[in-house]
Structure 1
Amino acid sequence: MYIAGGGAVTAAGLNRRQTLAAIRAGFSAYEEYLLAEPMGESQIVSRIPTHWSLRATDWDWLVNMAARAIMDAVASRTADPRTTVLILVLPEQFRNHAAFEEVHPSGFLNAVMLASGGPFHAASRAIDGGAAASIAVLDQLSEMLTHPGVERVLLGGVDSLVNDKDINRLAEAGRLKGSDNAQGLVPGEAAAFVCLQSRPDPKSPGLAAIHGAGFAQEADSVLTERYSQGKALLSALQGALNGTGNGPREPDIVFVVSNGNGERYSGWEANIARSRFYRTRREILPIAYPAMTVGEVGAAGGALALLVAADSFTAGYAPGPVAMCEVASEAGLRAAALVSQVRSS
């Protein structure tokens, strides 16, 4: 399966090209955000600059972000949307996101397709599971691409943690970055999508091959009272490698793209899992963290990691031809995808 372009909107850029350029440059799209409670307090966030009318409600804002990223993904293509399956990852259900307090999430996919100028293929659907869900469904999507009438899959997510409900929840758990917590997360918001095809398209931006994907559920997530031993992430990494067939192996992996958000918990978990998975001696294992630019973007983090990996190959800043994308969801889903550069014939 191949990544053949994509789209995004983040605090660092209003389209894929701007966002990826900002991440390449190490730009930080952080700013202070005034909280409603307690009055006068502020929090560092990564917030998309936009006209107030697009944020009339939290529902409207998520729809607008998703639609903009989808239109960015299809802008340079002449493909018929009716042959494109849209897979949309929503904010994890346990959060009871502010966007879905008054409108049920079951209607969200149709709202996004309408705003994006659909219709898309009838197999299109919205799924739960957070950032890692974008990687966990890759095997299913590979099989879907063999169905008659399906030419491509547009896979991604939309989310915003820049709302009082999520910020208060994270603050109560002591998980926010601040003067009293250097190892905390920065709430962000984004929509990101990758275009997947069964055959490579040399004319497409962000071309890369996906060789395998794995996923597992972590029992000791950040929402529990126990620290993770990295078992689920290790299982996901092994699953991604086991599905490669004659593709790259562990010694071939040169760098990692992670949706790690700066929390102490996620850093410990990833370090434990990597020490057990990467058995070949390396002088250094470079790791790209998009959250250093755009903050924690929730359900959009999986597709964004794939976009960064693909962009690093086509833009020439990857330290090598093979990468592992590691993605974790807040509720415990862990996923990994082995991605490589596509060499011209």
Structure 2
Amino acid sequence: MKRPLYIAGGGAVTPAGLNRRQTLAAVRAGLSAYEEYLLAEPMGASQIVSRIPTHWSLRTTDWDWLVNMAARAIMDALASTSADPRTTVLILVLPEQFRNHAAFEEEDPSGFLNAIVRACGGPFHEASRTLDGGAAASIGVLHKMVEILAHPGVERVLLGGVDSLVNDKDIARLAEAGRLKGSDNSQGLVPGEAAAFVCLQSRPDSKSPCLAAIHGAGFAQEADSVLTERYSQGKALLGALQGALNGTGDGPREPDIVFVVSNGNGERYSGWEANIARSRFYRTRREMLPIAYPAMTVGEVGAAGGALALLVASDSFTAGYAPGPVAMCEVASEAGLRAAALVSDVKSG
């Protein structure tokens, strides 16, 4: 990245909270939003999930539910900075295409962004668009946000995603692959759902203090993803970590990194991959490397995981519970994209 990006605010709706403040307070407190969910097939069976409590009318269809989640989180993010939607570029990450998400079985994904804009009640900047790539896409495009913010008429970028794995289609797919947490698999994932966004700007704002600075971002594609028959050796995650560190100029270096925020979801595969990559990347001796896992509170939230990791890192600085001033956000997508972002307290940055 040519210069740092600044996180000025954000928004979220998760099983742990209906806005950013509630969600981050639940993560800080180490609360769990897990609950038992009755499956349609096989009838009477149950699965542990992390589900947002809501009125049934908001879940009329899977499409409506994703729109409602995204709109609520976006409005929360806009309110956190009093941003003007007309000068704000909305970058929205959708559930990865290979999943053929239930929300898009009868509706064309190309109309999803317009549906969200209507739900928010106003137009966003014309450069707004959707992305594929899952959770890691929110991190992988950070270097492009610097260029977007340099365009005339653009004051902020609202970057994030929306997803729900709490649907019969995804649960059946994960169950068939033996990837769900249960009595017979302690190292599985818990399906969750969320929408999360960070509000980015190119420089600190004297009117509203920024939450964190992003100094670098890297990404790479993992050939041996969890969808293949081979175990990952962490090559792509290592490349993403190195990419986040390269080109940061006078920014933090590897010895300065004090803790990690990861979207690791409890699967054996993700744990092995991350441990292999970290052992190759972190060369400075440390007594310990604290790691925050938001999935312990909200489960696997798919495309929303990247922005949620940035929000947790930012909150740790502003709320004073970070073990140090510099963090690395590590984010993995199911289909293989890996991304990392070097984040610091604004004062240290």
Q: In structure 2, how many angstroms separate the alpha carbons of the residues matched to 1:276 and 1:248?
A: 18
Question: Which one of 314, 320, 328 corresponds to residue 316 of structure 1?
Answer: 320
Q: Which of 236, 239, 255 is the matching residue for 1:232?
A: 236
- 2:203 aligns with 199
> For the residues of structure 2 that align with 1:243 and 1:289, how far apart are their CA atoms?
27
| Superposition deviation, residue 76 in structure 1 | 3.5
Aligned to 1:43: 47
- Contact 1:5–1:205 (CA under 8 A) maintained in structure 2: no
Instruction: Give the Cα–Cα distance (whole angstroms) in 2 for the partners of residues 212 and 258 of structure 1.
Output: 16
CA contact (8 A) 1:206 1:307 kept: no
**Aligned equivalents of 1:206, 1:286: Cα separation in 2:** 24
Shift of 1:16: 0.1
**Which amino acid is 2:78 matched to?**
V
* One-letter code aligned to 1:128: D
Give the SS at the match of 2:81.
coil
Partners of 1:280 and 1:76 lie apart in 2 by 37
Runs of 4+ in 1 over 6 A off after TM superposition: none
Structure 2 CA distance for aligned equivalents of residues 9 and 294 of structure 1: 10
Candidates 60, 72, 88, aligned match of 1:68: 72
> Paired residue for 1:328?
332
Q: Report the Cα offset of residue 11 of structure 1.
A: 0.2
What is the alpha-carbon distance in structure 2 between the residues aligned to residue 212 and residue 202 of structure 1? 23
2:219 matched to which residue of 1? 215
User: What are the superposed Cα offsets for residues 108-154 of structure 1, whole Å, 9 maximum, x if unpaired?
Assistant: 00001110122000000000000000000000011110110000000
- Please state if 1:276 is matched with 2:280: yes
Q: Residue 26 of structure 1 aligns with which residue? A: 30
Distance in 2 (CA, whole Å) between partners of 1:204 and 1:337 is 23
- Contact between 1:7 and 1:73, CA under 8 Å: does it hold in 2? yes
Shift of 1:205: 6.7
SS of alignment partner, residue 7 of structure 1 = strand
In structure 1, the gaps of 5 or more residues are none
The normalised TM-score by structure 2 is: 0.97
Instruction: Determine the C-alpha separation between the residues in 1 that align with 2:265 and 2:348.
Output: 35
Q: Does 1:337 align with 2:320?
A: no
| Count of aligned positions | 345
Q: Say whether 1:243 aligns with 2:247.
A: yes
Percent identity over paired residues: 90
Q: Deviations over 1:143-166 (max 9, x none)?
A: 110110000000000000000000
| Superposition TM-score, scaled by structure 1 size | 0.99
Cα-to-partner distance string for 1:280-329 (whole Å, 9 max, x where unaligned): 00000000000000000000000000000000000000000000000000
Structure 2: how far apart are the matches of 1:317 and 1:80? 31
1:206–1:313 Cα contact (<8 Å) kept: no
What is the RMSD of the two structures over their aligned residues, measured on CA atoms? 1.1
Paired with 1:205 and 1:162, the residues of 2 have a C-alpha distance of: 36
Are the structure 2 counterparts of residues 234 and 222 from structure 1 closer, same or farther at C-alpha, using a change threshold of 3 Å?
A: same
1:25-63 Cα deviation digits (max 9, x unpaired): 000000000000000000000000000000000000000
1:98 and 2:89 matched:
no
